[in-house]
Each structure stands twice: as C-alpha cells, then as structure tokens.
C-alpha cells in the first residue's frame, strides 16, 4: 500500500469513526441534503446527481461530506473520495486526514486542539508503521501461508495465529496500527508482526516492599542468572526491555540487573510474552507504549491480577457447575503475579495455559479470523478448509452459537458480562473440528450483584473481594452494553462485514444466522427460568444498538468532557440494529437513515459529548 493509499485508508477510517461516535455532535447537529448549493456545483462535477451530502459546521466554516446510508454501526458512511470545505474566505476540496483534523480544530477549546494535535501524531505513526508491517507481512508470506493444522505443537500454532492477527487493524479504532512509542527498530525487535525473540530484563526489589501472590514458576531466574549477588532479601521482577531502558531514577530498594535472562516471543498483546522454553507460561509486563488511544498506556494495574484471578476461579466453577457451560471453555490459570504497592510500573502477571486440555488443539484469537492471507483469502477460510471441510457457513453458524451459549448464559443466568474482545476471545479447534474456547485476562468484566447474588453463596468468590469497584454495576443495561459492543459487534458483526466484503456470503444472510441464534438461545434460557425480556428488546427489537465511543474517550475528548469513568466503556445508542434491519426495508434506505438521524438528534440516551 503506497503512502497515498494509506492516507486514504486512514482518512476513511477516521471520518467514519467521527460519524459513528457523533464526535463534537457533528452528525446530530448536521443536516442531510440531496443537492449542493449552486455556488458549489462546479466543485464536484464528477459526482452523480443523486449523491447524498452531510452538511456540518457553522457559517464560518462548513463542510459538505459525500455520504452513503448504512446499517452497519452508523447511520452514514463517508464515500471516501474528498469533501468540500466552505469558509468565508474560500471554497476548497479536501481529502486527507490532516485536512480533517485541521477542520475539527476550528473553534475548539485549547484542550481539544491539544488532543487533536496529539492524535494527528498518532495517525502519522499509524501510516508509518502500517507501511513497515506491510513489509513484514510480505517478508513472512511463506510462514503465514502454511496450513496451521499441520504444525505439531499447540504453542507454535498459537504464536502463528497471533502473528496473522497482528496484520489486521482493530475494526473500529482508526489508528489501531500505531504502537505509539515504538520506533522502527522497536517494531522489529518487539512486535508480533516481525515474530522476534528477545530476553527479558529484570529488577531486584526488597521483598519487604513487594507482594507475590504465589511462588514464581520454574522458569524464573536466580539472582546469579541475572548478574546479581549478595541480595538474598530481594525478589526478581521481569521487565520489558523497552521499559527497562526508561528506568533511570529508581526508588530506593530497586536495583537493575546487569544481565538479561529468559528468551520470550511477543504475543498479539505485545506486552504479554510467551516463554520459549516453557511456552505454556506467558508473562504480562508493563510496556511504555500506547495503543487504541493516547490515554491507553500499556502498564499493568496491580488490581487487575486479583480481579483476573477472581474471574478465573468463578468461570472455572461455573463451567463445572452448569451443564449449559460444561465443555464449552477452559480458563488459563492466572494466580501468580507480583506488585510493588499500587505502582503500575512495577507489576507483572503470569498466565499458564492448561496444557493437558489443549495439547492437541489449535488456538486462534478472534482477531485473526478476518485477517487477509497471502493468497488473498481470509484466514477463516483457511480454518474452514482444515477443520470444517471448507464449509464456511457451517463454521460461522457453530461459531455464533458457541459465543451466544457462553455469553448470553453468563449474562442472563449469572449477571456476568465479559470483555471478550477479539484479542482475548480464543477459539480452540480439536483435530475433529470441534470448537470450544480458551479464556484469559478477564479483569475488566461486569457483574450485576442483584442477579449474581443467588449463586454467590456457593461460589468460590464474593463480590466484596473485587478491587475495581467499576466491575460491579447497578443494573442490567451495563451487561447489555458489554455484550452488544464486544461480543456482538466486535466478535460477530466485524466478521460478517469482512466475509461480505470478501464475497463469501451476503451480510444479510449472516446477520440472519446471528439473529436466529440469539433468538433460540434467549428462548431456551427463558424456558430455564431466566428473565430475557430486557435482552430481547435491546438486541432484537430496538431500532438502535449501543456503540462504543473509543476514539472519543480514548483520544479526542478529555475525561472532564466525556465524563467516562472507564475510557473503554463509553457508549452512545447510535448504531442501527443490523439484526433488525438486515432484511429489505420498506421505503428507501436514504429515507430510513434520515429518520434515524432525526432519532439521533432527539435521543436522550446518547451521552452529550459536544
């Protein structure tokens, strides 16, 4: 992809995200017109006469954006060529993300301008790193194209699947390619796109200053291994080399070890690494890098190790207790970790994969499913070839059913919603093609105590043990928002759209599979005594779904403006319900979406982010 094409790609993603998130109330305060004013007609002579325009801004600076109606995630989508900017001084044709950011800055507060300037740097970073990762993709084609089922060990398959996933951008965050804080050499040394190996650094900390949740795994070095002696009262913490290089002025009681030790390979998460000699051991370490938002620095909050272990114990218990969940998933063991008080820089978590249960399986993150392969097909087509006799639709039907059986049961029976994003949602295929899931990293879920309470007495955990009190929610809506924006939109709808774009199947047919699966699962759960009316209304009957406003809360709005307690859980009810509207509509699509735009303007449930 050339620079111009990459700029066009990022511009399309940026503008669509701004429209989807109604950034600065652009859409809800804008107007739809079917014809340009007379003085602008000559600017866009090549446009068809029936072009729809979204008019946004003020009399001092107004833009005419060519749009098309859509039922996927937003009301209008930018058609991707160029737009007209009209000001009191002149009329210009604009077409780059630099132009768009420049226009957004007009009339904004100093805080907003600073955030927009910083985000422009992130876009530039995404453009530069995107080109480097494309080079890595081309250089690793022979490795990527090998049939994953033919690889002998589960961990080699898992690392290959993570590498395949790393070449595909997050569906909804425009500059997801940016590992902000990484140089070109850092990418090659530490990013999964390049499949490197490296050794961890270590620091020794006085054991009176730290907390270890259990004994470290057998791969841990001794003090002598890392070049330290005479520090018997110290324990060793692993440190990513990039973070290690920034540790200049250390607090008393912390010593940098002179020798690196323990070869590792980065996983899709980058800050989580797989130990080469003991690949069932993964270590999550703080990393001085930002991804998916300028506020999203990849440190490790100590509370997450306790809350993640809380959910590990609970979910393992439920899978053994509930026949509906039994055999559908296994959970990684996440008991061990270390931290120095509440310091997110001096923290680590160890994750151990259940080798006995997964020894003959192929582990695939959902993030890899829609990744393009060197033969121009999607990776999910390769998986269907190897595990489903090339029957992609049967695979998709089983995939959707698996997700719904797990997540709707957890939501409607137990009051639990998992943040099962594409990176953490891991499919496990056995040699016969049976598909289950491997769970991990569930430290940011949501629990509704009112529904969970009847099961709490027999559970191995209690709500009062959770450290991040944001996990506990006051009503069912928070669970529905989590399911809608993660399981439904990220894990299902994004796959649908990729399959549609690749010509595998019509999106309407795939959405019908999802709709029927949800309906059947809700009916079954209702028959077992679960209250399903709220979920049925939210998912199948409402005209609009909730959407996550990740760009707004993560990069472009201050916390004071957004009011978001958690930047990863900031929503607006502005996404057309593709489950309800995947079938042909009465009247024109444009008429339908003009009505939805009026809905957006009146919607009191949508947060004010102007």
Where do we find the tokens 């269907």?
384
The pLDDT value recorded for residue 2 is 64
Q: Which two tokens stand for residue 83?
A: 């737009």
> Where are the extended beta strands (E) located within 45-82?
52-57, 61-69, 76-78
The pLDDT value recorded for residue 599 is 47
Q: Where are the domains of the chain?
A: 192-496
The H or E element spanning position 586 is none
Contact 14, 123 (CB under 8 A): yes
Contact 129, 169 (CB under 8 A): no
The list of the chain residues with pLDDT below 70 reads: 1-3, 45, 559-565, 567, 581-610
Pairing assessment for the beta strands 435-439 and 362-365 based on DSSP bridges: unpaired
Contact 273, 264 (CB under 8 A): yes
Give the closest residue to 379 by CA, choosing from 389, 393, 364, 394. Answer: 364
Q: Alpha-carbon distance 610 to 600, whole Å?
A: 13
The pLDDT value recorded for residue 593 is 54
The pLDDT value recorded for residue 564 is 64
Q: Alpha-carbon distance 372 to 340, whole Å?
A: 42
Q: Alpha-carbon distance 335 to 310, whole Å?
A: 9
pTM of the complete model = 0.93
End-to-end CA distance of the chain: 35
Taking CA atoms, 469 is separated from 316, 444, 447, 560, 608, in Å, by 22, 10, 10, 20, 24
What radius of gyration do the chain's Cα atoms show?
25
Q: What is the DSSP letter of 38?
A: G
Q: Alpha-carbon distance 264 to 414, whole Å?
A: 38
Give just the sign of the alpha carbon dihedral 94, 96, 98, 103: positive
Contact 3, 93 (CB under 8 A): no
Where do we find the tokens 């249960």?
357
Contact 81, 95 (CB under 8 A): yes
Taking CA atoms, 520 is separated from 37, 72, 495, in Å, by 51, 23, 21
Give the closest residue to 499 by CA, choosing from 393, 343, 362. Answer: 393
Q: Alpha-carbon distance 111 to 252, whole Å?
A: 37
């Amino acid at each position: 992809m050339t620079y111009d094409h990459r700029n066009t790609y990022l511009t399309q993603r940026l503008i669509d995200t701004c429209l989807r998130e109604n950034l600065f109330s652009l859409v809800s305060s804008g107007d739809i017109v079917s014809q340009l004013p007379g003085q602008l007609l000559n600017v866009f002579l090549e446009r068809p006469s029936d072009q729809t325009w979204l008019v946004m801004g003020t009399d001092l600076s107004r833009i005419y954006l060519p749009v098309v109606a859509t039922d996927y995630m937003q009301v209008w989508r930018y058609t991707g060529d160029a737009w007209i900017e009209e000001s009191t001084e002149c009329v210009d044709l604009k077409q780059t993300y630099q132009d768009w950011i420049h226009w957004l800055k007009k009339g904004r507060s100093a805080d907003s301008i600073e955030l927009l300037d910083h985000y422009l740097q992130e876009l530039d970073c995404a453009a530069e790193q995107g080109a480097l990762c494309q080079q890595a993709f081309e250089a690793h084609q022979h490795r990527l194209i090998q049939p994953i089922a033919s690889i002998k060990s589960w961990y080699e398959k898992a690392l290959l699947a993570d590498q395949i996933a790393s070449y595909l951008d997050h569906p909804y965050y425009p500059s997801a390619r940016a590992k902000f804080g990484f140089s070109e050499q850092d990418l090659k040394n530490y990013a999964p796109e390049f499949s490197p190996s490296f050794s961890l650094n270590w620091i020794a900390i006085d054991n009176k200053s730290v907390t270890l949740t259990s004994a470290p795994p057998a791969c841990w070095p001794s003090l002598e291994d890392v070049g330290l002696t005479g520090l018997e009262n110290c324990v060793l913490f692993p440190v990513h080399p990039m973070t290690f290089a920034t540790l200049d002025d250390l607090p008393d009681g912390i010593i940098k070890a002179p020798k690196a030790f323990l070869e590792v390979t980065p996983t899709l998460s980058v800050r989580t690494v797989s130990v080469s000699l003991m690949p069932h051991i993964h270590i999550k370490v703080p990393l001085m890098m930002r991804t998916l938002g300028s506020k999203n620095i990849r440190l490790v909050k100590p509370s997450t190790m306790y809350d993640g272990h809380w959910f590990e114990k609970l979910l393992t218990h439920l899978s053994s207790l509930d026949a509906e969940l039994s055999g559908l998933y296994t959970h990684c063991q996440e008991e061990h970790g270390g931290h120095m008080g509440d310091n997110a820089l001096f923290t680590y978590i160890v994750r151990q994969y259940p080798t006995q249960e997964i020894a003959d399986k192929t582990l695939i993150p959902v993030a890899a499913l829609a990744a393009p392969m060197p033969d121009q097909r999607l990776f999910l087509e390769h998986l269907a070839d190897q595990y489903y006799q090339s029957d992609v639709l049967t695979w998709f039907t089983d995939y959707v059913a698996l997700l719904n059986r797990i997540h709707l049961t957890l939501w409607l029976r137990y009051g639990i919603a998992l943040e099962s994003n594409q990176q953490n949602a891991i499919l496990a295929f056995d040699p016969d093609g049976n598909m289950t899931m491997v769970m991990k990293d569930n430290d940011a879920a949501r629990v509704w105590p009112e529904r969970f309470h009847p099961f709490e007495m027999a559970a191995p955990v209690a709500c009062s043990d959770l450290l991040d009190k944001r996990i506990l929610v006051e009503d069912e809506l928070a669970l529905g928002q989590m399911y809608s924006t993660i399981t439904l939109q990220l894990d299902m709808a994004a796959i649908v759209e990729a399959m549609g774009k690749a010509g595998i199947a019509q999106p309407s047919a795939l959405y019908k599979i999802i709709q029927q699966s949800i309906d059947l699962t809700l009916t079954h759960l209702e028959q077992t005594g679960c209250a399903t009316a709220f979920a049925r209304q939210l998912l199948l009957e409402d005209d609009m779904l909730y959407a996550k406003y990740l760009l707004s809360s993560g990069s472009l709005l201050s916390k004071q403006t957004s009011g978001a307690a958690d930047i990863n859980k900031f929503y607006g009810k502005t996404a057309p319900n593709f489950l309800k509207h995947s079938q042909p509509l009465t009247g024109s699509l444009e008429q339908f979406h003009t009505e939805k735009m009026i809905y957006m303007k009146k919607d009191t449930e949508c947060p004010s982010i102007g």
